[in-house]
Structure 1
């Protein structure tokens, strides 16, 4: 063993330690994808708070709380898909738990939940607002389409939908990379 300023073993130049300094690929992949998945979950939280701001008028109405400033915004009534999409935020706790404990089955449940409660409502919304959005983009007119604060309502939702789909796609990609890395490691922590 070579040490600084000390004797060097016969037959070596002191660089034979380099092979012991490498980290196995599955551990590097796991660490990188854990970090990236946490960022995706953070952006999911940001999207949730944007959705919560939109739903706040309806929630306050259901609680019989009157705030003039919110009522003056005349926020359109929410559709069922908006509340169902909000359930997808609860899945982030499942994903974070799987990341912390390297649990394959928990991560698979997170992925399934994101598909059901994240993607399905967004796809419904994309179909629901497609006609108004296409009409606005092709003609530029806002006659006979829903408008909020002077902006086409469907186009505003498409901006949200595109951001949310990107966050969910990246989340699924990083989660699947984690599942592959954890299985390559030969972990027994399936449950």
Structure 2
């Protein structure tokens, strides 16, 4: 064994060669970190999608002529176009995951563009659409002021949507930020990945 007898340490293995050892390049560290963070964002996007799917379930079941008494008793308001448009943004996550797997620049650019179109624009529309109801609810001084505000299960409907919008915006902003960081890391490796 090496611990018995006379010790001989070859030159360069005593720890003084640390300055010459290989290190992981910064772009690979950035890429690994942002891939992990982007996957978390996609996971939270899935959670928000299932919440939206629960809201849309009444309308979907009505279109399929399926009657479930418990869902009908909830009196869920009819969905607007932006709710279905926002659901399309979930499909973009598959494009993103494929881009992450192979470090592809073009699908990641498509993911970012699609997230702006199907993620941010519907949420911006909803923000503007419910703004009046939320403003009236927050500034109301008595019950008469709340007559024009829509309520669901005792809660102001617009304020519930604002909570969803706030969470969805955070997920989308972080997703785009991490995707952008990945693009910068992948492009710094050379021109090979930009051709895809």
Normalising by structure 2, what TM-score? 0.91
Distance 1:53 1:173 in 2: 28
**What are the superposed Cα offsets for residues 24-72 of structure 1, whole Å, 9 maximum, x if unpaired?**
1100000000000000000000000000000000000000000000000
Whether 1:188 aligns to 2:188 is no
Partner residue in 1 for 2:44: 43
Quick check: which has more Rg, 1 or 2? 2
In the TM superposition, what is the alpha-carbon distance from 1:116 to its structure 2 partner?
A: 0.3
SS at structure 2 position matched to 1:181: helix
**What are the superposed Cα offsets for residues 109-161 of structure 1, whole Å, 9 maximum, x if unpaired?**
00000000000000000000000001111116532111101110000000000
Equivalent residues of 1:8, 1:14 under 8 A apart: no
Partner residue in 1 for 2:160: 156
- Give the 5 Å matches for 1:2-151: 7-10=8-11, 13-139=14-140, 141=143, 142-151=146-155
Please, which moves more after superposition, 177-186 or 15-24?
15-24
Q: Using a 3 Å threshold, how does the CA distance of structure 1 residues 155 and 16 change in structure 2: closer, same or farther?
A: same
Q: Using a 3 Å threshold, how does the CA distance of structure 1 residues 11 and 158 change in structure 2: closer, same or farther?
A: closer
SS at structure 2 position matched to 1:22: coil
Listed as ranges, the gaps of 5+ residues in structure 1 are: none
Listed as ranges, the gaps of 5+ residues in structure 2 are: none
Q: Using a 3 Å threshold, how does the CA distance of structure 1 residues 89 and 10 change in structure 2: closer, same or farther?
A: closer
Distance 2:55 2:113 in 1: 26
Root-mean-square deviation (Å): 1.6
In the TM superposition, what is the alpha-carbon distance from 1:19 to its structure 2 partner?
A: 3.7
Distance 1:98 1:187 in 2: 16
Q: Using a 3 Å threshold, how does the CA distance of structure 1 residues 71 and 10 change in structure 2: closer, same or farther?
A: closer
